């Protein structure tokens, strides 16, 4: 990732000249890979125009790009540093989100989540689902025990993320970044993730400290910024999830009656 504080990067993303360089083939929301130029420097970004959002039954129309920005504000305020700098601005197709592009890392990156035969699960990894391929071969979904992934799992509980699949986890040095938070921050419990390896376990102190920091930020101006992006009940539900995490001090369990794991998982 390019260097600079998040505030500097946000300024570049919000004010630099935005030029599309390609379309992301696997995007269901018409996402474009773009270059943002600020003076001599250019950075790669992913831009999702609001008009290209796919309609969903469980999120109000035209709200996904605002959720991308809200997820960044929450991640940043708590010091999770999972969501890359993300702003809302005008582009060639009107308003949309612009998020700093992460990576790719050099060489063949070690996977963080995988679908393999049971016998091929790497040592120490946590199996979260058993299933079978269309031709009947048994497979399991597992993820690495990486502490940075655990921080992502805590942030996802806070965000009520309903689409944390392997392809939305990006290596960035020792850190793990996450992308695609357009379907998060609903009022209804919808946590759907591959990162169930710590379900029910105590949240580590350093991640609890992040949730506490987020709680302080909410009372210190973040709330006002979020009200520009989310409905009042959605902001209240975020508060309630923060309070619940600080009360139980444990990773949440899957919600009964709700599909807990996204499919495909990668």
Choose the stretch contacting Mg ion; rule: CB under 5 A; options: 50-58, 142-150, 172-180, 241-249.
Answer: 172-180
182, 49 Cβ separation under 8 angstroms: no
CA distance 252 to 192: 11
- 99 near ligand ADP (CB under 6 A): yes
| Cβ nearer to Mg ion, comparing 31 with 148 | 31
**Residue 54 or residue 227: which is nearer to ligand ADP going by CB?**
54
State the Cα torsion 46-52-54-57 to the nearest 10°. 110
Stretch that binds ligand ADP, among 34-42, 100-108, 129-137, 193-201 (CB under 6 A): 100-108
User: 249: alpha, beta or left, given left = phi > 0 and alpha = psi -120 to 50?
Assistant: left
Q: Does 102 bind ligand ADP (CB under 6 A)?
A: yes
Q: How far is the CB of 181 from ligand ADP (least distance, A)?
A: 8
Cα 104–chain centre separation: 17
Rg of the Cα trace of the chain?
A: 18
Spatial contact of 243 and 109, defined as CB atoms under 8 Å apart:
no
Among 68, 156, 180, 207, binds Mg ion (CB under 5 A): 180
| 106 contacts ligand ADP (rule: CB under 6 A) | no
Contact of residue 161 among ligand ADP, Mg ion, none (CB under 5-8 Å per partner type): none
Q: How far apart are CA 27 and CA 193, in angstroms?
A: 19
CB-based burial of residue 20 (10 Å sphere; 0-12 exposed, 13-18 middle, 19+ buried)?
Answer: middle
Site string for ligand ADP, 73-92 (x = CB under 6 A): -----------x--------
Please give the residue ranges that form the binding site for Mg ion (CB under 5 A): 180
Please give the residue ranges that form the binding site for ligand ADP (CB under 6 A): 24, 26-29, 31, 46, 84, 99-103, 167-168, 170, 179-180, 182
């Amino acid at each position: 990732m390019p260097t600079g504080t998040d505030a500097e990067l946000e300024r570049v993303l919000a004010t630099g000249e935005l030029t599309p360089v390609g379309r992301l083939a696997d995007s269901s929301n018409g996402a474009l890979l773009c270059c943002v130029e600020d003076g001599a420097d250019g950075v790669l970004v992913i831009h999702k125009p609001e008009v290209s959002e796919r309609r969903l039954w469980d999120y109000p129309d035209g709200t996904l790009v605002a959720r991308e920005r809200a997820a960044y504000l929450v991640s940043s305020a708590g010091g999770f540093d999972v969501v890359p700098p993300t702003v809302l601005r005008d582009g060639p197709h009107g308003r949309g989100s612009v998020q700093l592009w992460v990576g790719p890392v050099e060489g063949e990156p070690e996977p963080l989540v995988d679908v393999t035969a049971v016998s091929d699960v790497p040592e120490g990894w946590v199996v979260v689902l058993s299933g079978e391929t269309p031709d009947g071969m048994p497979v399991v979904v597992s993820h690495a025990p990486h502490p940075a992934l655990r921080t992502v799992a805590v942030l996802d509980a806070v965000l009520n993320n309903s689409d944390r699949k392997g392809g939305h986890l990006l290596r960035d040095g020792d850190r793990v970044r996450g992308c695609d938070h357009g379907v998060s921050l609903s009022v209804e419990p919808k946590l759907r993730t591959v990162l169930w390896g710590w379900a029910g376990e105590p949240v580590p102190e350093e991640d609890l400290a992040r949730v506490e920091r987020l709680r302080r930020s909410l009372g210190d101006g973040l709330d006002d910024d979020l009200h520009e992006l989310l409905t009042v009940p959605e902001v209240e539900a975020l508060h309630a999830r923060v309070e619940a995490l600080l009360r139980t001090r444990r990773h949440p369990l899957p919600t009964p009656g709700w599909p807990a794991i996204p499919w495909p998982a990668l």
